[in-house]
Structure formats: structure tokens, C-alpha cells
Structure 1
Amino acid sequence: MEDKLSIAIAQIAPVWLNKSATINKVESAILEASAQNASLVCFGETLLPGYPFWLDLTGGSKFNDPVQKEIFAHYLSQAVSIEEGDLGSICSLAKEKQIAVYLGIAERAGDRGGHSVYCSLVYIDRSGLIQSVHRKLMPTYEERLSWSIGDGHGLRVHSLESFTVGGLNCWENWMPMARSALYAQGENLHVAVWPGNTNNTIDVTRHLAKENRMYVLSVSGLMRREDIGPDVPHHDLIFGNAQDFPGDGGSCIAAPDGSWIVEPLGPEETVLTAVIDMQTVREERQNFDPSGHYSRPDVFELRVNRERQKLTTFSDEKLTTSSDE
């Protein structure tokens, strides 16, 4: 098998809380990554249509507050419905360009009624098929005011040439058991997605790389004060309280020995590619393989529930009629 793989970071800002316009930016970044011969391109946490930065800026915890209701209603209206085909054009482009995509979305989940938002990480393969949708296991702190709690259904890895790739959302990357669930499936290329904060990526990226002797691609979104558009509900309140960079980037790539391939990027929009080599994974696994020769399954066992959680199960019985005639 071909040992080398070209991977791309797409550190871009959304057209904040505007689904259709952000899809256009995502597709432009996919085209740019494809032009650089990337086989995989990755985007930040809930990049489509944007991270809920307003919560810190508007008193997000106020109960029954009309401001929070109006902003959330707008967020919900712009969230991604996979069932309704919102990712169709992105899937078609992935197929056309033969490029895999990891994309962070705010998902309006039809299988949970369609009125709650999940922080989801979607993997689209090079044939344009959605292979997994991972809903964030535990939204962090104020995120719980806008996102619902996910499940283990998307804790899956995928073959990509000679590599096995998996991914997690933001602080899930600090969850040892979530990481272990991916490691045990042979992961050797990990995608960690973030809303945009160098303080998050600079430590955990290298830690994960050394822990599982794998490549780690941390991809962040970008959010600038000027990205808060005038059509966003309560624009003046959000804009007036925002810093210059609510999301300052920090995307980076670490090698299996923890060294930097791409050091954390500054607050700029860019599509950047790097070539990784499976031979380096093999070399680093020689002395430490946490799911192989350095594991102790006789002592430790992790059980993972990958059923998609749902509220109801319907059993429709076929109605029959009988006649004495």
C-alpha cells in the first residue's frame, strides 16, 4: 500500500450562522485542498454554520430570556439537517474530487425530533458517502445551553489509503475512554476539531500524538469580530461584547513522536497541506503500542455502546380483516 498521505487543514471562518453561505465557503476550501492534491481535508468544530459564541456575550444562562430564545431559534433554523440533504452538494464535491472530508456541523437531528442541536463531526469518504456522524458525548460548560448530549454511535474509524482515521470534538479529546475506543480500532491518524483556540490545541495535540504514536491533525475554526453579520439576531449586543478574535485559530499537525509538522497557526484563513508517512507510525509503535503489545486486556476492558440513542421505538402491525363469508 502507498505509505504517504496528503492531508489538509482548512482553517476558515464561517459566514456565522448562515448555513448556505458557509456551505459555499466549505466547498471553496475543498476545491483548494484538492488543488493541493490532498486526500483528506478537515474543518473545525461546528464550522457549519458556526460555534455558539453568543452564549458568553449575551448572558446565555438567563432562564426564559427572550434574547436567548430568539438567537437559539435562528441557530436552529440554520443548523444542518442531514436527512433533508443539506450536505448533498458537499458530498457530491467530495466524490467529484476524490477527497475525504471531516466536517464539524451543528446538527438538527431528525431522529431526535428535529428541534434540538447536536455538535456533530461528519466523515465523508472519497466516494462522497457519509460514513459516520459523531455527536459530541458531552458539551462543555456553556455549550450545554445550546447543544444536546450525544452518544457513542459515531465512535468509529475509517480506512483511508494505508491509514486508519478517526476524530473527536474539542474537549472530547481529553476523555481517555473516548480516545481509547478509537485507538482500539487501529486509529493512527486522529482528527481533533476545535472552534478556534490555540490554548486548546497546543498541548493536547502533541499529547495525543505521543500517547498513541500516531499523527494528530488539530483543525480549528476562525472567528473574528467582523464575522458577526448584521443579519444575526441581537447583532449589536453580540458585536458590542465581542473580542477581536472570539476564535483565534491554532490549527496544527503533530507527528507520532510528538514533534511538530505544522506548528499552531495564527488567526488567519488558510488551507494548508502536509504529507504524512505510515512508516513513521510503524517505527514509533515499536516501543509503545497502547492497544497492542503494551495493553493488558486481562486487566483492563472497555465496553462501548455504539447504538444510536433514540426516544421511541414504533412497532407497526399490519392490520388484517377477516370475514365469515
Structure 2
Amino acid sequence: MKDQLLTVALAQISPVWLDKKGTLNKIKNAIAEAADQKAELIVFGEALLPGYPFWISLTDGAQFDSKIQKELHAHYAQNAISIEKGDLDTVCELAAKHKMAIYLGIIERPQDRGGHSLYASLVYINEVGEIKSVHRKLQPTYEERLTWSPGDGNGLLVHPLKAFTVGGLNCWENWMPLPRAALYGQGENLHIAVWPGSDYNTKDITRFIARESRSYVISVSSLMRTEDFPSSTPHLDEILKKAPDVLGNGGSCIAGPDGEWVLEPVLNKEGLLIETLDFNHVLQERQNFDPVGHYSRPDVTQLHINRKRQTTVRFDE
């Protein structure tokens, strides 16, 4: 049956670093290219729009009251995404035009948190162009905490896509057992894991999650090279002093529900990676293990999740 098959595109691309407009143009071009290849889902890496905060570990990011850190952070905020102000409207229009679902990693400046702090968010846009979830990364990792704020459980949602049920997490969230279980418990069978760009992250956990969940797992990483730093970047000379030639080598890949590779990690190659997935493989592998079904004991262990969107103020009108 046609609904059993899903053609997916992994967009292993670099941002136009910290440039919202330039990166949006690359994203829109990738969507159009994926449409030409009949993709029904396209996935982009973590924080791709407008880019991962590589400068923190290269420029003494923990130095308090640093002019360099303040100016870079302000530049980052100026190029971050405000969904409420329509920054993703053209992407939604393309999703509807091509009848293509999209997972997109963004840096979000949400108005419901005042419009100044930044969040690493994973946005799901369905095939009719509707934003159905915005998952703000629960726990920024190590140096990320110097520029990103912690999110909440509001975006721990799954979505129907043909025969599949898709859900996703940001980077090291994929190592967190309970957020994974939150998605499994809602019927997830196609897991999206987005990363800033390295096979160091993707080569082990992609297969592990697939084997644990008996689901397909798509890991998508960005690329990042020194040539991807625009000359307009504030304090670029300082960033380049310690920057390696390659900061993110990709490593995008797909594992099947048996934990074996559908697509092994692809390194240092920019462009789209296209595969077609067969839902029936999920049912075959759930025969002997289903972590939230026949191989679970909810009478002994249960997970309780708070999906309220967190805000500092609430108004009673």
C-alpha cells in the first residue's frame, strides 16, 4: 500500500552562519530540491536556522561581562526566529505547496517568554503547512547554556504522517531516557534526532535508539566549515584564531527498526540524502519487543509528563 512507504530527505547542509535571511534561502532551496525528488518529509539539523553557537568554545565564552560575548549574543538574537512574527511563514507555504512535512531546527526568540531569550527549538510543520509543535530543548548542553535557555515539555508531541507516527528531539536530548519514553508512549515509530553536525554524535546512538524503540531513526546533522563563517560576523578574527577547518562534518544517517543501517553516516558531503522507508518493517520488529506495549509493565513503572508551556506571567482577563 502507498501509505506504507515514506520517502524522506535528510538535508545535510551548512547555514549561512548567523544570517537568518541567507540561511532561510538555503532551506527553501533544499525544500524545492526535495520536492523534485518526491520527498514527503524533509529534516534539517539542530539550530540550523541561523546556526549553532560555535563561538562560545572558541572565544572564552564563560568570561563574565565580556564585550565580545555580549555583541555576538546580540547578533545571534537579531538573527533568531520569532514564529509569532511570521518568520517561518514562507517555509510553511512551501510545505503546503509541495505537500511535504518538515522538521526544522531553529534558534527561537519566543514572544511568550518576553521575546529576548533564545531557545534551541525543533519545529514540525505538517504536509498542509501547519506548525503542529515547537519543541524547545529541555536541557542545553554544557557551553550551550551560556546562550540558550532551558525549554519545557510542551513540544513532546508526535504526529501522523501516512502510516507513520513521527516525533523528534534535539541533540543530547536523545540520550535522555524519559523524553524518549514520552515519545514512544504516544506511538512514535519514526524518530527524528537532529544534531549540529558530527558523526561523533550520530554513529552510535542512532542505532541504539532504533534497537531500543524498534522504530526507524533519522539523524540529521548540519555541516560547518570555516568557509561558512560570513565576513560580516562580529569578531570573526577572534573566532577564527582557534577554529578548526571543519567544525561539523555531518554524519547524517538512518537506522531501521532492527537497529541496522538503512543509510550509514555520510561525512563531509553537502546536499540531500534520499531514502524510502517501509512501515511494515516496524510491525515485524515489534513482534518480539515493544517498549510501551507487550514488553512493558505500567503497573510497576509509569512516566508522568508536564506538557504545559511555561511562562513567567499568566493573566486572568
TM-score (structure 2 length as normaliser): 0.99
CA distance in 2, matches of 1:111, 1:267: 38
Compare 96-105 and 260-269 and name the one that shifted more.
260-269
Q: Distance in 1 between matches of 2:316 and 2:201?
A: 46
Separation (CA, whole Å) in 1 of partners of 2:164 and 2:35? 19
Equivalent positions of 1:226-265 (< 5 A) are: 226-265=227-266
Could you tell me the percent identity over the aligned residues? 59
Aligned length: 316
Do residues 139 (structure 1) and 108 (structure 2) align? Answer: no
Q: Deviations over 1:200-254 (max 9, x none)?
A: 0000000000001010000001101111111010011112221011111000000
Q: Helix, strand or coil for the counterpart of 2:274?
A: strand
Look up the equivalent residue of 2:315 and give its one-letter code.
F
Q: CA deviation at 1:281?
A: 0.4
Paired residue secondary structure (1:7)? strand
Q: How far has the Cα of 1:34 moved from its partner?
A: 1.0
Shift, 1:308, TM fit: 0.1
Alpha-carbon distance in 2 for matches of 1:140, 1:213: 27
User: Which residue of structure 1 aligns with residue 282 of structure 2?
Assistant: 281
Q: Does 1:99 align with 2:83?
A: no
Letter in 2 for 1:144: R
Give the secondary structure class of the aligned counterpart of 1:121. strand
The separation in 2 between residues aligned to 1:263 and 1:220, in whole angstroms, is: 13
What does 1:140-155 align with in structure 2 at a 5 Å threshold?
A: 140-155=141-156
Shift of 1:272: 1.2
Corresponding residue SS for 1:90: helix
Question: What's the counterpart of residue 320 of structure 1?
Answer: none
Q: Secondary structure at the match of 1:304?
A: coil
Q: Distance in 1 between matches of 2:263 and 2:240?
A: 32
Whole-Å Cα distance in 1 between the matches of residues 178 and 143 of structure 2? 23
Report the residue type matching 2:17 in the other structure: W
Does residue 193 of structure 1 match 2:194?
Answer: yes
**Coordinate RMSD, CA, aligned:** 0.6
* Aligned counterparts of 2:227 and 2:121: Cα–Cα separation in 1: 26
Say whether 1:119 aligns with 2:120: yes
On the 8 A contact 1:94/1:125 being kept in 2, the answer is yes
Other-structure match for 1:87: 88
Structure of greater Rg:
1
Name the SS of the counterpart of 1:29 in structure 2: helix
Equivalent residue for 1:323? none
TM-score (structure 1 length as normaliser) = 0.96
State the distance in 1 between where 2:26 and 2:229 align: 16
Task: Please name the residue that 1:211 is paired with.
Answer: 212
- The residue aligned with 1:307 is 308
Which range moved further: 241-250 or 143-152? 241-250
1:180 aligned onto 2:181? yes
Task: Give the drift of 1:314.
Answer: 1.4
Deviations 1:35-85 (A, max 9, x none): 111100000000000000000100000011110000000000000000000
Distance 1:111 1:264 in 2: 37
C-alpha contact 1:11 1:221 (8 A) present in aligned 2? yes
1:65 aligns to what?
66
Say whether residues 1:21 and 2:3 are aligned partners: no
Matched residue SS, 2:246: coil
- Write the letter of the residue equivalent to 1:309: Q
Q: 1-side partners of 2:245 and 2:106: how far apart?
A: 24
User: What is the rounded CA distance, in whole Å, between the counterparts of 1:126 and 1:8 in structure 2?
Assistant: 14
1:216/1:253 contact within 8 Å kept: yes
**Residue in 1 aligned with 2:272?**
271
Deviations 1:271-307 (CA, angstroms, capped at 9, x unpaired):
0110111110000000000000001000001000000
1:267: how far off? 1.3
Quote how far apart the aligned CAs of 1:315 are. Answer: 2.1
- Aligned twin of 1:77: 78
Contact 1:33 1:272 in 2 (8 A): no
Cα distance between partner residues in 1 of 2:4 and 2:27: 28
Alignment partner of 1:249: what SS? Answer: strand
1:38 aligned residue: 39
Runs of 4+ in 1 over 4 A off after TM superposition: none
Aligned to 2:203: 202
Which runs of 5 or more structure 1 residues have no equivalent in the other structure? 317-325
Query: In 1, distance between residues paired with 2:273 and 2:157?
Result: 26
**Partner AA of 1:99 in structure 2:** M
Amino acid paired to 1:214: S
Deviations, residues 129-161 of structure 1 (Å, cap 9, x unaligned): 000000000000000000000000000000000
Asked if the contact 1:8–1:272 (Cα under 8 Å) also holds between the matched residues in 2, the reply is yes
Unpaired runs of at least 5, structure 2: none
Q: In 1, distance between residues paired with 2:315 and 2:280? A: 50
**Following the alignment from structure 1 to structure 2, what is the Cα–Cα distance between the partners of residues 197 and 62?**
27
Aligned partners of 1:241, 1:30: CA distance in 2, in Å? 34
Q: Which amino acid aligns with 1:152?
A: G
